[in-house]
Amino acid sequence: MDLKKDELKLTPDLFEKLDENEKNAEKIAYESKTYFQDAWVRFKQNKLALAGLCFIIFMVACCIIIPIISPYTYDGQDMTNSNAGMSMAHLMGTDKFGRDILVRIMCGGRISLSVGAIAALIALVIGIIYGGISGYVGGKVDMVMMRFVDMMYSIPDMLYIIMIVVVLEPSMFSILLGISISSWMGMARQVRAQVMTLKEQEFSLAAFVLGASKSRILFKHLIINSMGPIIVSVTMLVPSAIFNEAFLGFLGIGLSAPQASWGTLANDARQIMMAYPMQVVWPVLAICLTMLALNFIGDGLGDALDPKKK
């Protein structure tokens, strides 16, 4: 083991001075980027997702602006001009009461989009708290909490959405309640799975060793690191909530007239579909394009937020 001392003689000429560049060995040259800046760069490369995002922004802007600037209101009837076709005065024509379809679709968009967004948000909050606690505490608590989720899953969701809406009278509140109750379980399961894998990672153990409280570890370390997949599933939840709401409207238990969402608009037009097919096409087109755009965004986010696909 021992080196023979005389074999290795150190003389000054064996050494050379440290080069100026070496002193900066610890310097990092490139610009610092946060996780979301990095994700944005990757998201922008996906043209379909970017187009979807532009469409949603355009749709939201139209829903806000058009009813304000239009000379018509969503419930202003004009029986002398019912079931009119497309014209400069009514870009999408009028319905059987002579109401401007464009304005009605944009007002319906306000309701449909906000139902989608709010339902997804409620599902997100419940899912994060429920799934986070279940995954982090583990053991018996986890077992009981997850069996409850399984139980909720076993009931067909349309069944209790319809029941809630019928019992509480159709309104924004009852529809939101019904849709959020049916969509938080998937979110909770996903958060739980993420938290369970992350809690064994060394950074959460390190936080524990440093004396961090349970809620600090859960929210500052575990949830934040599982945000990527969670955001993706939230963007996927929005279209399914919009779809559920449209489905309720189409069944005739959506919002009551004269208020309208895309679903109730399609349902109203269905009755006179044979005579005036364009009246069905507009709301259906709005639903389809929005869902398509949201799905593209969800897909793009999935790729952008997953660092392994870098």
Partner 1 sequence: MANPILELENLKVYFNVGGGFLKKKDVVKAVDGISLKIYPGETFGLVGESGCGKSTTGRAIVKINQPTEGKILVNGEDITIIKGANLKKFKQDVQMIFQDPYASLNPRMTVGEIIKEPMDIHGIYKTNEEKEKRVRELLELVGLKPDHIRRYPHEFSGGQRQRIGIARTLALNPKFIVCDEPISALDVSIQAQVINLLEKIQAEMGISYLFIAHDLSMVKHISDRIGVMYLGNLVEVGDSDELYNNPLHPYTKALLSSVPIPDPRVAKSRERIVLQGELPSPINPPSGCVFRTRCPKAMEKCSQCKPELKKVKDRMVACFLYDGDKE
Smallest separation (angstroms) from partner 1 to the CB of 202? 4
Residues 210-229 that bind partner 1 (CB under 8 A): 210-213, 216, 220-221, 224-225, 227
Residue 94 φ then ψ, to 5°: -130, 165
Count of helices and strands (H, E) across the chain: 12, 0
Looking at the Cβ atoms of 6 and 26, the one nearer to partner 1 is 26
Site string for partner 1, 162-201 (x = CB under 8 A): ---------------------------------------x
**Which of 40, 153, 173, 203 touches partner 1 by CB under 8 A?**
203
Q: Which is nearer to partner 1, 15 or 30 (CB)?
A: 30
Query: What is the C-alpha separation between 111 and 99, in angstroms, rounded?
Result: 18
Q: Which is nearer to partner 1, 21 or 34 (CB)?
A: 34
- Contacts of residue 175, Cβ cutoff 8 Å, sequence gap at least 6: 115, 161, 165, 245, 248, 254, 255
d(CA 241, CA 125): 15
The helix/strand/coil state of 100 is strand
Q: What's the closest the beta carbon of residue 36 comes to partner 1, in angstroms?
A: 10
Q: Does 21 bind partner 1 (CB under 8 A)?
A: no
Among 11, 20, 22, 32, binds partner 1 (CB under 8 A): 32
Structure token pair of residue 80:
């002398």
Q: How far is the CB of 212 from partner 1 (least distance, A)?
A: 5
Residues with Cβ within 8 Å of 101's Cβ and at least 6 positions away in sequence, in order, are: 90, 92, 93, 94, 95, 265, 279, 282
The owner of tokens 């002579």 is 98
Find the binder of partner 1 among 14, 17, 26, 69 (CB under 8 A). 26
Nearest to 266 by CA among 284, 291, 287: 284
Number of residues that bind partner 1 (CB under 8 A): 28
Closer of 252 and 307 to partner 1 (Cβ): 307
Place of tokens 């469409």: 55
Binding region for partner 1 (CB under 8 A)? 1, 3, 26-28, 30, 32-35, 201-203, 205-213, 216, 220-221, 224-225, 227
